[in-house]
Structure 1
Amino acid sequence: MIMSTFSVLLDQWKDELVAAGRSPGTIAMRMSYARRCLVSIGKPVELIERADVIRWLASGGWGPDARACAAASVKGFFTFLVDTRVIADNPATNLPRISRPRAVPRPAADAVISDALAAADPKIRLAIELMATTGLRRAEVARVKASDVEPVGRGWMIRVKGKGGHVRRVPCLPGLARRISATGGYLFPGYDDGHISPGWLGKLVGRVLPEGVTPHMLRHRFASIAYMEGGHDLRAVQALLGHASIATTQIYTATCDRDVRAAACAAWKVSA
């Protein structure tokens, strides 16, 4: 009986998230954490207390990022229950602030990318090239179709629909753009609204990458090179990556040893 009630409430919350324009990936993540919380606590929602939520968060064994996502998800779910008057008080209000270590850029090395391109089949090579040379997320790569690329001036651009439905245009290698255009439809056809699912595409790319290197590190590589070789223009890199906050972009842009040394050398001379 409790489980059936949980399912009904989660389905209602899902409708709310869809209506708010949340991406399918975000909705799936939020729903997953909220469901796991409810099942683990095992009480009717009106009886769940703050201590129950704290106990669940403490027992998860997650890293800081996952724990923060879990906390945000359950807080959003219980806020929905309060707003719809299913419960009177939100047990996820004022949860402890989760400490998250400062993230550092993790760009994949060009040698690693070259080896992966040599080992991959033609389709996966296209995915790797897109991630490494345009900085697209795996979900964005999964949705690429022929009509997304177009010649502009002396080059080509690819139209990208990112998180929150925001659209940006990213320069694309002419040869890569022509191969995308030649497909006539989705670059990676599948059963997820006509294209491959982002999760499955990520697994396929991950299979040809060495241990410890993830598809997202290809995006980090693009950001780092674009920043270092493109005039250290953080705003431009932010636009290319489709980040809402420039603080997020800073996580993606590795600083080369040459720049670090130059910065240090600038402070070596002490004026008389």
Structure 2
Amino acid sequence: MSSPNPKLLQDFLIYLTTIKGKSKKTRQEYLYDLRMLFRFLYCIREDIELEQMNKVSIKEIDIAFIKDVSLEDLYLFLEYCEVNRNNGSSARARKVASIKSFFKYLTGKRRLLEYNPAGELESPKIGTKTPIYLNIEESEQFLDGIKEGNHYYRDTCLMILSLNLGLRVSELCGLNTNSIQGKTIKVLGKGNKERVLPLNDSCMEAIKDYLQYERGKVSNMTDQEALFLSQKGTRLNKRTVQRLVKKVNERSGLEKEKLTPHKLRHTTATLLYRSSGGDLKSLQQFLGHSNISTTQIYTHVDNEQMKQMAENHPLNKRKI
């Protein structure tokens, strides 16, 4: 069955997954962004109303079409995304990343372009947000929300690993029984990058109890490798973990607004950053961040804390 996408785009997507090790989700995002770019450019050149964009076929777009793309065309596309599609800076920044990666591939890897029009393409500035997290008291209250039930040991193990190791929800669901190696656990992160994390006593106890009292008694197991199993004996999925976090949040009485598995990861990162004395390099490796700039968002948390300390200083209210 032939693809509705240009061959150059299909080749690029294959390159992303087989050579660059990008996930299926990342590949899908690149496809969405670049398909929109091609449709936009085709409509502009053929004087087609932009409202008809989704009906336009881009299958026949080739290198001759792409050679005519200019930097101004790319900025015009980003303006369209902002004005007509109400894309925020984060969404437009992702499109810039997709475009730059594609044109870099055509220029550097395939040698199909002599000039890279996206070489000077700038990404919109994204405001830095202080991550939302639980403090230690809130974390303990959250864990108290795991109530006795059919999956008590599994749910406890999931939340203990989440809060102690800061795993992404995809990493949690992807764990296998053989991921546990003594007092360490092997985690498959973004881009299929592996990292090995130490297991503290709390994690070891939670894993032991889950394997002994729950997983070992599953009779309808269909996935022998998966560490965490669903009611049906299949590998646990992300949606189940998301629902679990929401349920535990409510049952704990904490009712932290919009608490998600990713915010539990923020919690781990913040607590580890403070307990490590601000060792960003170790925290970067622990969390599996490819770029330390991602890890640096946790320094803002401490900056806010220091600001609050200064405000609360007893001499702050002293009249001069």
Q: Give the TM-score, by structure 2 length.
A: 0.65
Q: 1:110 — aligned with what?
A: 139
1 CA distance for matches of 2:293 and 2:225? 35
Aligned CA-pair RMSD: 3.6
Contact 2:186 2:194 in 1 (8 A): yes
1:73-122 Cα deviation digits (max 9, x unpaired): 01211232345355554332311342122342321452673476459973
Pairing 1:8-27 to 2, within 5 Å after superposition: 8-24=7-23, 25-27=25-27
Q: 1:147 — aligned with what?
A: 178
1 CA distance for matches of 2:148 and 2:262? 18
Matched, 1:91 2:122: no
Matched, 1:222 2:268: yes
Contact 1:206 1:215 in 2 (8 A): yes
Following superposition, the deviation at residue 217 of structure 1 comes to 1.0
2 CA distance for matches of 1:115 and 1:31? 43
Pairing 1:19-58 to 2, within 5 Å after superposition: 19-24=18-23, 25-42=25-42, 44=61, 45-46=65-66, 47-58=68-79
Q: Give the TM-score, by structure 1 length.
A: 0.75
Following superposition, the deviation at residue 40 of structure 1 comes to 3.4
Pairing 1:1-272 to 2, within 5 Å after superposition: 4=4, 6-24=5-23, 25-42=25-42, 44=61, 45-46=65-66, 47-60=68-81, 61-83=86-108, 84=110, 89-108=115-134, 109-110=138-139, 113-114=142-143, 117-118=146-147, 122=151, 123=154, 126-151=157-182, 156-172=183-199, 173-179=203-209, 183=215, 185-188=225-228, 195=235, 200=239, 203-205=242-244, 207-208=246-247, 211-252=257-298, 254-255=301-302
Change (3 A) 1:111 1:70: farther
2 CA distance for matches of 1:145 and 1:75? 36
Percent of aligned positions with the same letter in both sequences? 24
The aligned length equals 256
Q: Which amino acid aligns with 2:36?
A: R
Change (3 A) 1:157 1:245: same
1 CA distance for matches of 2:272 and 2:30? 32
Contact 2:13 2:27 in 1 (8 A): yes
Following superposition, the deviation at residue 189 of structure 1 comes to 5.7
Gaps of 5+ in 1: none
More strand, by proportion = 1
Following superposition, the deviation at residue 147 of structure 1 comes to 0.8
Change (3 A) 1:132 1:97: same
1 CA distance for matches of 2:189 and 2:26? 12
Change (3 A) 1:235 1:7: same
Following superposition, the deviation at residue 178 of structure 1 comes to 2.1
Change (3 A) 1:145 1:92: same
2 CA distance for matches of 1:178 and 1:119? 17
1 CA distance for matches of 2:19 and 2:243? 31
Larger mean Cα displacement after TM superposition, 26-35 or 200-209: 200-209
Following superposition, the deviation at residue 195 of structure 1 comes to 4.8
1 CA distance for matches of 2:40 and 2:236? 32
Larger radius of gyration: 2
2 CA distance for matches of 1:197 and 1:81? 36
1 CA distance for matches of 2:304 and 2:22? 38
